[in-house]
Structure 1
Amino acid sequence: MKRKLLGVIDATTFHDDLEELLMHRSLAALPFGGRYRMIDFVLSNMVNSGIRSVAIFPKLQCRSLMDHLGSGKNWDLNRKRDGLFFFPSPINDRTPNRVGSFDHFAANLDYFYRSTQEYSIIANCYTVFNFNFRPLLEWHMHSGCDITEIRHQDGSSMEMYLIKTSLLIKLIETRNETGYTCMKDVVSNIHHDYSICHYNYSGYATMIDSIQSYFSTSMELLKPDIWRQVFLKEQPILTKVKDEPPTKYIKGSSVKHAMIANGCIINGMVENSIIARGVTIGKGAVIKNSIIMQKCQIEEDCILDSVILDKDVKVEAGTHLKGTPHSPFVIRKGTKQGALMNS
């Protein structure tokens, strides 16, 4: 029992530099890698680490996130005991870079009171990584630390914290007296008596906090050495399962160095790109260095280079769109791009 972990995922963060992609969804529900959502990575890591009770604290637009996660069945979290829990925030303001808001936790304190897990892992929802939390728990227990902060190899915080559940409850209950608003406040304060330790994570990990980091990290997935570090057979990244037919490649089409999800129809050229489910690419179209989200329609003879198309975008025949790796061209969800623009 002592070695059991409670999973707590803060899904409230909003990054202004990602606003173009967060108009209709939370950051946790942002599509990534053709068939995943951002939250899939930390949630899968928790499940693969043996965590059977996970609380998700969403805010802003959480309908897309709740639709994606459902009952938690795809992560084996649809359980009679423990399982997946949603606790929407009663706070309406945007609070970027404030993982683990004690006010948000306080509004759902009964959940922590009822939990039987002695330790809690508090994590953000926007890190691409594959990490088993079990060795971290063992390290934390042997170190005698009160709180362990996970850090990158370069020493920067990954905004993930391991703490005894009883201490977490105490910090929540005394927040008004101490002035601590979140976990970051606690670990950065040198005037308390808690022992703060740092655990350096040596694997691949990238935090998505801007359009540029979203684009560059997506392109990194096309590198075999990076892909192998993120998608491990023994620790799979789980996601919502959709029953769709295989992608159809029309005679004359060309695909090089790309990730193509199910249900697409490819009748043009795709190179160094990520294509999500149900995308249609017309004859003569050329897609390079781009991210095309679910159910986009790209008509004949279009040329797209360094472009991000959000879901359900239609690009009219003959349209040319070009961005750069540092400033990709972003088209919002459900809009039309071409001679007659409806965005």
Structure 2
Amino acid sequence: MTDRKRHAPISRDTMAYVLAGGRGSRLMEMTDNRAKPAVYFGGKTRIIDFALSNAINSGIRRIGVATQYKAHSLIRHLQRGWNFLRPERNESFDVLPASQRVSEDQWYAGTADAVYQNIDIIEDYAPQYIVILAGDHVYKMDYEIMLQQHVDSGADVTVGCLEVPRMEAVGFGVMHVDDTGRITAFVEKPIDPPAIPGRPDTALASMGIYVFDTKFLMDQLRRDAADPKSSRDFGKDIIPHIVKHGTAQAHSFNRSVVRSENEYDAYWRDVGTVDAYWQANIDLTDVVPPLDIYDRNWPIWTYSEITPPAKFVHDEDGRRGQAISSLVSGDCIISGGSLMRSLLFTGVRQRSYSSLDHAVVLPHATIGRSARITRAAARRHG
């Protein structure tokens, strides 16, 4: 467990830049009206809250969030829940929508371009270091440890990585490293991912987390922007170029993952499909869940809507409001229905004689009288 009372000066001289413009199309209807980072997770938080909370808990007090796809829900959440950083304390929180700052006919063309188009804002703050983060993953990580490795190694870039089953690595950047942790090869989303030597079923995947000296990154972004062949992407262009022409260091997630006394594995989830999203939420109903969202030493900050408590009513055979091994959020009313191993977000209404079993129910949905939902995610229509 990490002592959160003190932070090294390195964190105070760092800016976290969160890339939150992606749709997450594999989540289908859940991202029809919002970007993937704005999707609800775990009862009351949004997916982006994990990356942002990691930054705050790591001592980073300058944060920028780049948005693009259907950003209204995300921006509203950020404005309501992340407005506590204060300029008078040398803190900042900037929401940076795609706004054609560089060209009148160009939005963010890629992940690197989403940073390049806001170079002037970053340079105004003048942080010594910058951490590039993906806003659509669920995990707890102390970025301060990764920052310290970056400074100690003297690398041009430090890339967060973790081991994954080889055939699951098709959706990630995949790297090879030498005995010193230096990245010797990097390929983005390969059709046939290269395995870790001696471990044919495992690949070393990028987490989409990069630490740079700010000046070095600004130089790389300007160089990349001048290249007509570039796709303006960190994984496809920036990182491979540095691997070839500079020094790129790997940082193992195992070194900086935050675990409470109840967590055993290094928890990281992409939740990029409906099945993965459902499973990650249902896992939270375990007696000892793989992700401890109750860890007071590493809180997950979010916008906390003012709601009344959850309510359970009726107590007769077949019509008893009850929940077993479940998470039920505020403003839910369980009116003569039952739920087992299920997770209900804010404002759900469950009518009499209905039952939920291994169900994830998104905010303000209504479960009708006598309905049966098993092993599914449900949302409000309309």
TM-score normalized by the length of structure 2 = 0.75
**CA distance, structure 2, for counterparts of residue 45 and residue 204 of structure 1:** 13
In the TM superposition, residue 298 of structure 1 has moved relative to its aligned partner by 1.4
More displaced stretch, 24-33 vs 173-182: 173-182
Cα separation, partners in 2 of 1:7 and 1:51, compared to 1, 3 Å: same
| Residue pairs, 1:95-134, within 5 angstroms | 101-134=111-144
In the TM superposition, residue 146 of structure 1 has moved relative to its aligned partner by 1.1
Contact map agreement 2:50 2:137 (CA 8 A) in 1:
yes
Unaligned 5+ segments in structure 2 are: 1-8, 165-203, 255-265
**CA distance, structure 2, for counterparts of residue 306 and residue 145 of structure 1:** 46
Is 1:201 aligned to residue 250 of structure 2? no
Unaligned 5+ segments in structure 1 are: 314-333, 336-343
Partner of 2:40: 31
Contact map agreement 2:224 2:238 (CA 8 A) in 1:
no
More displaced stretch, 183-192 vs 262-271: 183-192
**CA distance, structure 2, for counterparts of residue 228 and residue 63 of structure 1:** 29
Contact map agreement 1:284 1:300 (CA 8 A) in 2:
yes
Is 1:174 aligned to residue 223 of structure 2? yes
Partner of 1:276: 345
Alignment root-mean-square deviation, CA: 2.3
Q: Secondary structure at the match of 2:55?
A: helix
Q: Secondary structure at the match of 1:156?
A: strand
| Structure 2 residue corresponding to 1:223, chosen from 282, 286, 289 | 286
Q: Secondary structure at the match of 2:369?
A: coil
Partner of 2:296: 233
In the TM superposition, residue 77 of structure 1 has moved relative to its aligned partner by 2.0
In the TM superposition, residue 93 of structure 1 has moved relative to its aligned partner by 9.2
**CA distance, structure 1, for counterparts of residue 243 and residue 21 of structure 2:** 28
**CA distance, structure 1, for counterparts of residue 234 and residue 345 of structure 2:** 36
Contact map agreement 1:204 1:226 (CA 8 A) in 2:
no
| Residue pairs, 1:139-218, within 5 angstroms | 139-154=149-164, 155-178=204-227, 179=230, 181-184=232-235, 185-189=237-241, 192-202=244-254, 203-218=266-281
Contact map agreement 2:19 2:114 (CA 8 A) in 1:
no
In the TM superposition, residue 307 of structure 1 has moved relative to its aligned partner by 2.2
| Structure 1 residue corresponding to 2:328, chosen from 260, 274, 287 | 260
Cα separation, partners in 2 of 1:17 and 1:2, compared to 1, 3 Å: closer
Q: Secondary structure at the match of 2:64?
A: strand
Aligned residues: 309
Partner of 1:307: 376
In the TM superposition, residue 64 of structure 1 has moved relative to its aligned partner by 0.5
**CA distance, structure 2, for counterparts of residue 253 and residue 84 of structure 1:** 43
Cα separation, partners in 2 of 1:162 and 1:222, compared to 1, 3 Å: same
Cα separation, partners in 2 of 1:129 and 1:309, compared to 1, 3 Å: same
Contact map agreement 2:156 2:248 (CA 8 A) in 1:
yes
List structure 1 segments (4+ residues) > 6 angstroms apart after TM superposition: 91-96
Cα separation, partners in 2 of 1:191 and 1:49, compared to 1, 3 Å: closer
| Residue pairs, 1:234-249, within 5 angstroms | 234-249=297-312
Cα separation, partners in 2 of 1:49 and 1:234, compared to 1, 3 Å: same
Q: Secondary structure at the match of 1:68?
A: helix
Cα separation, partners in 2 of 1:94 and 1:115, compared to 1, 3 Å: closer
Q: Secondary structure at the match of 1:170?
A: helix
In the TM superposition, residue 211 of structure 1 has moved relative to its aligned partner by 1.3
- Which one-letter code corresponds to 1:199 in the other structure? H
- Which one-letter code corresponds to 2:132 in the other structure? I
More displaced stretch, 235-244 vs 224-233: 224-233
In the TM superposition, residue 287 of structure 1 has moved relative to its aligned partner by 0.8
Q: Secondary structure at the match of 1:187?
A: helix
Contact map agreement 2:112 2:238 (CA 8 A) in 1:
no
In the TM superposition, residue 224 of structure 1 has moved relative to its aligned partner by 4.0
Is 1:60 aligned to residue 69 of structure 2? yes
Q: Secondary structure at the match of 1:87?
A: strand
